[in-house]
Amino acid sequence: MGIKISEKFLNNLTTKLIKAADGGQQLGITDPDEVGQYVCSVLALGCELIPVIGSSLSALVTLLGGLFFHPNSTEKIWEKLRGRIEALVDTKITETQMDILRKKIRGLHDNMENYTRVWEDYKDSSGEEQMRARDTLKTTQIAFLSVVRAAIPEFRVERFAVPSLPIFALAANIHLMLLSDGIRHGITWGYSEKNVNTMRAEFKKKTSPQGVVGQAARIASEQSHLLKGAIATAIDLEMPTNIVDTWKDAYSDLTVPASGSAGNEEGYDDVDYATYAYKVYRKGRGQVKPYRAELNDADNRGSTTAATLRAYADFDSSMVMNVLNYAEYWPYLAGDKMPESVLKRLDREIFFGPFGRHTTNAAWSESSEAPITDRGPRITSAYVRGWNDIDGLQMRYGDT
């Protein structure tokens, strides 16, 4: 099959991200689909799919700082996605739950900003100063991991699982990138071998359908112990008060359930992140509300069916670009080789429309998403014949 990631395209994106991360700058992007391209480029780097040189690669998650560094960017991105998904499935998150989620999003944003600052201090220091900066980096990563762990259950509340799925995916990206950084660089940053092995076990639990059996209690105990130590040293490290408050909130949250159940009925609580993403996507697909046809179906036969399929195409494209593509990368962020079958899924076609009234050749339906197939030759020309209506179309592919 020989599917390849476009190095030119991704290197263009990652170069911008690396420059932003190395300089503590921001890209100021809030269009969800454009953000999705940048996030996938970071994930591709983490999976070692493309070669790139940059100091920020020794802390993968800091590359996301270029996307989420500017004020309220994460919330703005999600607001656009949430509105799109809520309209398609006719389900709105309550204001009470929104207040909880906004607080969690602000906590992620503030800790991302703080973590990026601490990483810059570590990267730019040397000698004894770098040893002190290393300890601060380790403490900050311990706490940031816990803040993410505490936030994720709120994004998996069953009643709002579908409209919350894109922000869950962003949080899962941060969680798994932090774990990947810890697994790859933890010893250098002052973690013990035991700590690194615990992060590896947690990563496996969150990315593998088989998970890690019998270690949940040990992992939780070690996480709690490390977070408690991080909070105790926060004053000496001169951590900002608002950051320490999120650490304390996380410590409390991790000992009590989320505000709603994410899985008592569906069994979501214990599944890995990718399985969860696909389950909720398919659940949401079953809730999609068809668009209203713009043409009178009596005089324009097929317009109602076209409007229906257009709604499904919009739902599928939003989820592929902002959730499902991310999920394909997740199991391979800690160094495992990505198989060709995954590259094929990442190379899937994304459909929009139909914008007319004929749906005979649509690759998707109300009951099933478009199949993943091998990439065909590129379209080289299209000829359309019509007057009041289109009655002829000729497509040419490749060199034919």
The pTM for the full model equals: 0.87
CA dist 364 and 76 (Å) reads 31
Q: Which two tokens stand for residue 38?
A: 């940048």
- Which pLDDT score is estimated for 394? 83
Q: Would you state the pLDDT for residue 226?
A: 94
Task: Please provide the average confidence, as pLDDT, over all residues in the chain.
Answer: 83
| Banded pLDDT at 134 (limits 50, 70, 90) | very high
Whether 146 maps to a domain, the answer reads: yes
The verdict on residue 320 lying in a domain is: no
109 Cβ contact partners less than 8 Å away, ≥ 6 residues apart? 68, 71, 72, 73, 74, 75
Instruction: Say which range, 133-137, 231-235, 236-240, 385-389, has the weakest mean pLDDT.
Output: 385-389
- pLDDT score for 285: 97
Q: Quick one: pLDDT at residue 322?
A: 92
Query: What pLDDT, in 10s, does the model give residues 95-109?
Result: 999 999 999 999 998
The CB-side HSE value for 57 (13 A sphere, CA atoms) comes to 17
- Decide if 142 is inside a domain: yes
pLDDT above 70: residue 363: yes
The verdict on residue 338 lying in a domain is: no
Task: Using pLDDT thresholds of 50, 70 and 90, give the confidence band for residue 67.
Answer: low
Both tokens of residue 87? 């309209």
- The domain tally of the chain equals 1
What pLDDT was estimated at residue 346?
87
Q: Does the pLDDT at position 287 exceed 50?
A: yes
Would 324 be classed as within a structural domain?
no
pLDDT of 162 above 80: yes
Of 318 and 39, more confident: 318
Cα gap 264→68, rounded to integer Å: 33
CATH code (residue 48): 1.20.190.10
Confidence band (pLDDT; 50, 70, 90) for 265?
A: low
> Residue 24: inside a domain, yes or no?
yes
41: which residues sit within 8 A by CB, 6+ positions away? Answer: 10, 13, 14, 17
Classify the phi-psi angles of 302: left when phi > 0, otherwise alpha if psi is within -120 to 50, otherwise beta: left
**Residue 332 included in any domain:** no
**Residue 261 in this model has a pLDDT that exceeds 50:** no
Could you list the residue range(s) of the whole structural domain that residue 57 is in?
7-273
Rounded Cα gap, residues 279 and 267, in angstroms = 10
Is residue 47 situated within a structural domain? yes
